[in-house]
């Protein structure tokens, strides 16, 4: 099918055209779409901003590749009358090879389905991007096949009609043996990469050092800001963020409407006072000395640190705000700074929510301290992270509670008997789905290797919107009761 498509190629150098299936194609140097782009963007951003430059280049190239992949896939599908999602995907790897992107090898653990379970694991054995880096004699600390990832995921997105993104987990430009990719829906990509890396430790994949594409986020934000100044003001209002800019050429300062609302509760109606004087006027007396000292230093050095402090509005209302680090955004040809910008965010709601959460957690801990058994609370995240666990767990499994909480040394699932893990997972899932408590009896493995029988009663914690936020429960050691029951049965 793909051979038929590309068999219609006609070249007319006199007219500067390459035509395939009635459409014009162009030849572009591989290096100009890979290694040279990174080098150019680094020069444009300047020294000290290499990280920003790489992020900008990577996201821009991914988005371009993604858009090209979708467009090419749509044209191919329509012209060749391919409708089945698997057939659409299957044509992609051959199409990549014919069009010069790369050939593709898809691995059997892939699961190309039109839902959140989508998974594609594949190699680009002859990636034009890694080849360009090799020819330039450069190596990279990060994967470089950004457009390959974008183009492939764009093609598959068009094939399956759902958002998809690809991340390169191994790259020849980084010294790996191949250029390997994992593709999944955007909200699942990080967990899919972590699962793949965990299942194949011999590959040495380091998920934390991978550059997951910011899936068109930069373009969506930039477009929203370009559409209208009203849209920009609305974004600031929703985020409770006010901005300011200081023109160092004429020493003028401008502030957004939202910044005045943060400071005064309203926008000045008649004229605007000096911003520096206005901020000094509303700083909380207990915070004034530290804030003014930091502001003076920032004004002299044009640098500073983010700072959180309180303000008192004219109506007496106390608000918590956070000022960002000032940043120079425009320079003169001689390198002199011309424009300084910064932002102030009202974080009162967050501060109050954090305090309420701390109060709630303290009440929770006080309440459960006297409950017999292991009391716990865990979050509804990828790893079901334990937020709290009572010290009774040490008596049951021989490990301290601290081993299971937060960024844990071990997950609680690791001490559940291997034969009972599925039972526990299914029981919890049924209870959560029905919004009802779940009750399970199962085995735990003590640190010394002995088996402990436990009875667990728990329930899902749901938000006001009905979304699962976590689990609360109690686990009671019933080993002695279980052994006593077995003894009675044996005696009979």
**How confident is the model over 169-187, as pLDDT tens digits?**
999 998 899 999 999 998 8
What does the pLDDT read at residue 208?
59
Range name among 231-235, 268-272, 388-392 with the lowest pLDDT average: 231-235
Helix and strand totals (H; E) in the chain: 16, 18
CB atoms within 10 A of CB 166: 29
3-state class of 18 per DSSP? Answer: strand
- Indicate whether 48 pLDDT > 70: yes
Question: Exposed e or buried b for every residue in 377-388, given b needs 16+ CB within 10 A?
Answer: bbebeeeebbeb
Range name among 79-93, 307-321, 323-337 with the lowest pLDDT average: 323-337
What does the pLDDT read at residue 232?
46
Q: Is the CB of residue 376 less than 8 Å from the CB of residue 473?
A: yes
- Indicate whether 215 pLDDT > 50: no
| Calpha distance 156→361 (Å, rounded) | 45
Residue 389's H or E segment, with its range, is strand 386-389
| Positive or negative torsion for Cα 142, 143, 146, 150 | negative
Spacing of C-alpha 82 from chain mean position? 34
Per DSSP, 273 falls in state -
| Calpha distance 322→306 (Å, rounded) | 7
Q: Which of the two residues, 290 and 227, has the higher pLDDT score?
A: 290
- Indicate whether 16 pLDDT > 80: yes
Terminal Cα distance for the chain, rounded? 74
Q: What is the mean pLDDT of residues 133-158?
A: 91
Q: Which of the two residues, 54 and 113, has the higher pLDDT score?
A: 113
| Calpha distance 455→474 (Å, rounded) | 8
What does the pLDDT read at residue 216?
44
| Calpha distance 134→126 (Å, rounded) | 12
| Calpha distance 486→241 (Å, rounded) | 65
3-state class of 378 per DSSP? Answer: strand
Q: Is the CB of residue 456 less than 8 Å from the CB of residue 431?
A: no
What does the pLDDT read at residue 489?
66
Q: Which of the two residues, 278 and 166, has the higher pLDDT score?
A: 166
| Calpha distance 412→62 (Å, rounded) | 38
What does the pLDDT read at residue 492?
61
CA dihedral 124, 195, 207, 125 (to 10 degrees): -10
Spacing of C-alpha 404 from chain mean position? 24
Q: What is the mean pLDDT of residues 293-307?
A: 77
Measured N-to-C along each axis, helices 128-135 and 35-45 cross at an angle, to the nearest 10 degrees, of 70
What does the pLDDT read at residue 183?
95
What does the pLDDT read at residue 491?
66
Per DSSP, 20 falls in state E
| Calpha distance 445→459 (Å, rounded) | 23
Average pLDDT, the chain: 84
- Indicate whether 237 pLDDT > 60: no
Q: What is the mean pLDDT of residues 231-252?
A: 68
Q: How confident is residue 371, by pLDDT bands cut at 50, 70 and 90?
A: low
Spacing of C-alpha 155 from chain mean position? 22
| Calpha distance 420→203 (Å, rounded) | 31
Q: Which of the two residues, 304 and 136, has the higher pLDDT score?
A: 136
CA-closest candidate to residue 96, choices 16, 7, 215, 6: 6
Q: What is the pLDDT of residues 394-403, one digit of tens each?
A: 989 999 998 9
Q: Which of the two residues, 393 and 219, has the higher pLDDT score?
A: 393
Q: Where does 218-282 show beta strands of DSSP type E?
A: 241-247, 252-255
| Calpha distance 453→375 (Å, rounded) | 16
Q: What is the mean pLDDT of residues 4-22?
A: 88
């Amino acid at each position: 099918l793909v051979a038929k498509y590309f068999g219609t190629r006609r070249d007319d150098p006199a007219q500067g055209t390459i035509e395939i299936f009635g459409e014009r194609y162009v030849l572009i140097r591989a290096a100009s779409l890979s290694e040279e782009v990174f080098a150019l963007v680094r020069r444009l951003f300047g020294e000290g901003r290499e990280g920003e430059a790489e992020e900008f280049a990577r996201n821009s190239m991914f988005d371009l590749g993604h858009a090209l992949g979708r467009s090419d896939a749509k044209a191919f599908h329509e012209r060749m009358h391919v409708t089945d999602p698997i057939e659409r995907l299957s044509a992609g790897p051959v199409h990549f090879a014919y069009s010069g992107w790369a050939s593709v090898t898809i691995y059997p653990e892939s699961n190309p389905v039109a839902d959140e379970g989508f998974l594609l694991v594949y190699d680009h054995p002859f990636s034009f991007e890694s080849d360009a880096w090799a020819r330039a004699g450069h190596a990279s600390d990060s994967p470089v096949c950004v457009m390959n990832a974008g183009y492939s995921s764009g093609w598959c997105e068009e094939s399956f009609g759902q958002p998809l993104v690809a991340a390169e987990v191994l790259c020849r430009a980084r010294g790996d043996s191949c250029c390997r990719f994992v593709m999944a829906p955007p909200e699942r990509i990080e967990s899919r990469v972590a699962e793949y890396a965990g299942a194949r430790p011999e590959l040495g994949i380091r998920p934390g050092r991978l550059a997951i594409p910011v899936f068109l986020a930069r373009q969506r934000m930039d477009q929203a800001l370009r559409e209208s100044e009203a849209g920009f003001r609305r974004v600031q209002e929703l985020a409770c963020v006010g901005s300011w800019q200081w023109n160092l050429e004429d020493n003028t300062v401008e502030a957004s409407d939202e910044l005045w609302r943060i400071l005064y509760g309203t926008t000045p109606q008649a004229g605007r006072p000096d911003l520096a004087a206005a901020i000094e006027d509303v700083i909380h007396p207990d915070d004034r000395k530290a804030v003014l000292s930091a502001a003076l230093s920032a004004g002299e050095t044009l640098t500073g640190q983010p700072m959180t402090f309180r303000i008192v509005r004219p109506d007496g209302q106390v608000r918590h705000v956070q000022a960002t680090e000032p940043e120079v955004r425009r320079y003169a040809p001689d390198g002199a700074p011309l424009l300084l910008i910064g932002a102030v965010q009202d974080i009162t709601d967050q501060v109050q929510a954090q305090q309420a959460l701390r109060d709630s957690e303290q009440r929770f801990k006080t309440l459960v301290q006297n409950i017999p058994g292991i009391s716990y609370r865990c979050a509804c995240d990828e790893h079901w992270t334990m937020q709290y666990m009572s010290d009774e767990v040490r008596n049951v499994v021989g490990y301290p509670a601290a081993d299971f909480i937060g960024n844990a040394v071990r997950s609680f699932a690791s001490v559940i008997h291997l034969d009972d893990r599925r039972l526990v997972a299914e029981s919890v899932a049924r209870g959560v789905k029905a919004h009802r408590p779940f009750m399970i009896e199962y085995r735990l493995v003590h640190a010394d290797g002995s088996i402990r029988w436990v009875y667990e009663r728990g329930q899902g914690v749901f938000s006001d919107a009905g979304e699962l936020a976590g689990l609360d429960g109690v686990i009671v050691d019933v080993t002695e009761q279980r052994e006593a029951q077995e003894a009675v049965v044996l005696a009979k």
